[in-house]
Amino acid sequence: MTETIIEFRDVEYRIDIRASHPILSGVSLKIHQGETVALLGRSGSGKTTMLKLINRLRNCTAGDLLVEGKSIGDWDPIRLRRRIGYVIQEVGLFPHFTIEQNVGLVPRLENWPTDRFYSRYCEVMQMVGLSGEQYATKYPRELSGGQRQRVGVARALAADPAILLMDEPFGALDPVTRAELQQEFLSLEHRVSKTVVIVTHDLREALLLGTRVVLLDSGRIVAEASSKEFLKLDQPVAREFIAASELVPGAAK
């Protein structure tokens, strides 16, 4: 369980080389196989950018980033992305595809044998608590927000990636649906043992879902702790988060 799968080595990211303020700087972090790392931070802290560096939606401007031991620059971005599941708050389901086509996209791009599409589709739909058969020919617009987000997760899992990146995946849902999906995600995590990097601005969510919490502030990692230890941190930004989420210090989940 201690094998490093993603490693940030003094990573810097600037939108523009000449820009004075980097979005990220001096970021070093090792993410181990099978753990769930929650990247916590305020808006603009660079957490989403950090996530996008992992599947090369953005490219580091300095430092190095290793995925499965290989430098990010040596990965073909297309190959890399097909091995990494990606879930975003807006879901981004293709409105002109049925649910089955949405979920089966990466397996299709990867030329899986046709007879495996449907069984895999049903399998991942079941993982997110939906009946594959019932939704196969439906279109995204026929689904509720919670169902769409589940399909988004199923789509990310379809090609059985080792890494799952999630950007505020439950941020747009009502509190009840969000709590429901968080619980399902936890049980899913136990079953599939993926390496998950999840971006959130919600400390409760970070502590609930993450095995480790990494706190970002103005493009730097300012604190890092296991979710059990996080509430004991003295770091000022961490204290601000703890105070704002009205969690009693020391009373972890």
Partner 1 sequence: MNVWHFISSHRAEILTATREHLTLVVISMVIAVAVAVPLGLALVTHPRLRSSALALASVFQTIPSLALFGFLIPLPFLGGIGMRTAIVALVLYAILPILRNTYVGLTGIDPAILEAAEAMGMTEQQILFRVRLPLATSFILAGIRTATVITIGVATIAAAIGAGGLGTFIFRGVAMVSDAVILAGAIPAALLALLADFLLGLLERRLRIA
User: Closest separation between CB of residue 91 and partner 1, Å?
Assistant: 7
Q: How far apart are CA 140 and CA 148, in angstroms?
A: 7
Residue in 91, 124, 128, 197 binding partner 1, rule: CB under 8 A: 91
Which helix (H) or strand (E) segment holds residue 134: the answer is helix 132-135
The smaller minimum CB distance to partner 1, of residues 13 and 241, is found at 13
Q: What residues between 120 and 139 interact with partner 1 by CB under 8 A?
A: none
Among 94, 144, 187, 236, binds partner 1 (CB under 8 A): 94
Using the rule CB under 8 A, give the single segment among 91-99, 120-128, 210-218, 224-232 that binds partner 1.
91-99
Question: What is the size of the binding site for partner 1 (CB under 8 A)?
Answer: 24
| Interface of this chain with partner 1, residues 5 to 64, rule: CB under 8 A | 55, 57
Please, how many CA atoms are within 13 Å of residue 250, restricted to the half-sphere of its CB? Answer: 0
CA distance 82 to 69: 17
Pick the closest to residue 14 from 1, 27, 25 (CA basis): 25
| Sign of the C-alpha dihedral computed for residues 107, 92, 183 and 241 taken in this order | positive
Within 13 Å of residue 42, how many CA atoms lie on the same side as its CB? 9
243 binds partner 1 (CB under 8 A): no
Choosing from 16, 17, 20, 79, the residue that interacts with partner 1 (CB under 8 A) is 79
Query: What residues line the site for partner 1 (CB under 8 A)?
Result: 55, 57, 77-82, 84, 86, 88, 90-96, 105-106, 109, 141, 155, 165
